[in-house]
Each structure stands twice: as structure tokens, then as C-alpha cells.
Amino acid sequence: MGRRILFLGPPGAGKGTQAAMLATALGVPHVSTGVMLREAVAAGTELGKRAKSIMAGGDLVPDDLVVAIVEERLARDDAACGYLLDGFPRNVAQARALTAALGDDSVEVALLLEVDEDEIVDRLMKRAAEGRADDNEDTIRRRLEVYRQETEPMVAAYGDKVVAVDGMGAVDDVFAGVVRALV
């Protein structure tokens, strides 16, 4: 089995950016629940219809829906040689579901991207022009709140699997830190 890496960190920390670069470098799939959910919303599927307003408000989509799409994705052949998880698991219940499905080795290392709150708001407000429904000031604040309440406790739950990476620099400098954290 190849590398099984989880990206943790607040909204706007650069999880998607770094996970895409690392997935290309390692040749493993980049599994982003945010991307999968936005695709479902754009396609107008049943999942997308249920997720749309929840995502626009910055809250978490119900665990059973998210766990189902991740289990389906990780069962595909390309994930047999490893994967990068971005945005999942996002709370302790999702982490338990992942462990129940794939075992304790389902996450080998959890990379925690650390970025100041001012920088997060700045990055996401800059991205607002791209039209993501959740990139507006109120929703950004709610997403940060949800992160602190629901997702941050996973840092303790993953214990010594967690490696902190400075996410404040330029994209390539952050990536160098990600690579260093994995050797």
C-alpha cells in the first residue's frame, strides 16, 4: 500500500493547493470532499441539492452523506496505491468512520497546515471573485468557527501522526515544508 496522507488545517490554509501538488508528485489520487460536493451541487444531483445551502452557510454536510462518497471513492482501483485526503475527515465521527472502514492505517500521516487567521480571511476574500458561494465574509467566519469546534479536535485525536507545516509562505516554500515533513 502506498502513502495515505491527510491534510488538516483551517479553511484557506492551502490544503487543496498543496494536496494537488503532492498528489501529482506522488502519483496518488487527490480526494477532496469539497471538490466532490461542489461537483454534485453543479450537477444538481440529490446529494448536491441537499448539500447546496449547507455549504453556502459554511456548515458541515451530514456525516453519512460525506462518508458514503468517500468510501465509494477510496474503493476505486487508483486508491489502492495510496491517496491524499483533503477536507475529510472533518470531525471525530468521520475519522471513526474512516478507521472503521479502512483500519488504523487509513491515515499514516496528518499534515497540519498552520496559517494566521488574518491571512486566511485575506486569501479567501481574494478568491471571492472566482464565485465560490462560501467565500464571503459571514460564511468565512462561520467556516472558521466550525473548524475550531469540529475539526481542530481531530489534531489531538490523530496524536503523533500529526506533523505541523508552516503554511504562511509562498506556495512553493510551503510545498518544500510539506515534502520535508514526509521524509
Q: What does the binding site for ligand AP5 look like in residue numbers (CB under 6 A)?
A: 9, 11-17, 33-34, 37, 54-55, 58-61, 66, 87-88, 90, 94, 123-124, 127, 134, 143, 170-171, 174
> Which C-beta is closer to ligand AP5: that of 26 or that of 56?
56
Q: Which of 38, 52, 73, 90 is an active site residue?
A: 90
Q: Which of 76, 126, 127, 141 is an active site residue?
A: 127
Distance of closest approach, residue 35 Cβ to ligand AP5, in angstroms: 7
The secondary structure of 128-159 as a DSSP string is: GGG--TT-SHHHHHHHHHHIIIIITHHHHHHG
- CA dist list (Å): 7 to 42, 54, 102, 110, 113: 25, 22, 17, 6, 7
Sign of CA dihedral 141, 167, 97, 65: positive
Name the pairing type of β-strands 162-166 and 30-32: unpaired
Distance of closest approach, residue 147 Cβ to ligand AP5, in angstroms: 7
Cα distance between residue 110 and residue 5, in whole Å: 6
Here the cell at position 114 is 498552520
> Which C-beta is closer to ligand AP5: that of 111 or that of 174?
174
Distance of closest approach, residue 46 Cβ to ligand AP5, in angstroms: 16
> Which C-beta is closer to ligand AP5: that of 80 or that of 176?
176
Residue 161 is among the residues annotated as catalytic for this protein:
no
Distance of closest approach, residue 175 Cβ to ligand AP5, in angstroms: 9
Q: Which of 3, 123, 132, 142 is an active site residue?
A: 132
Residue 3 is among the residues annotated as catalytic for this protein:
no
Residue 52 is among the residues annotated as catalytic for this protein:
no
List the Cα angle 34/144/108 in 5-degree steps.
55
Cα distance between residue 1 and residue 21, in whole Å: 20
Q: Which of 15, 38, 52, 73 is an active site residue?
A: 15
Catalytically annotated residues: 15, 90, 127, 132, 143
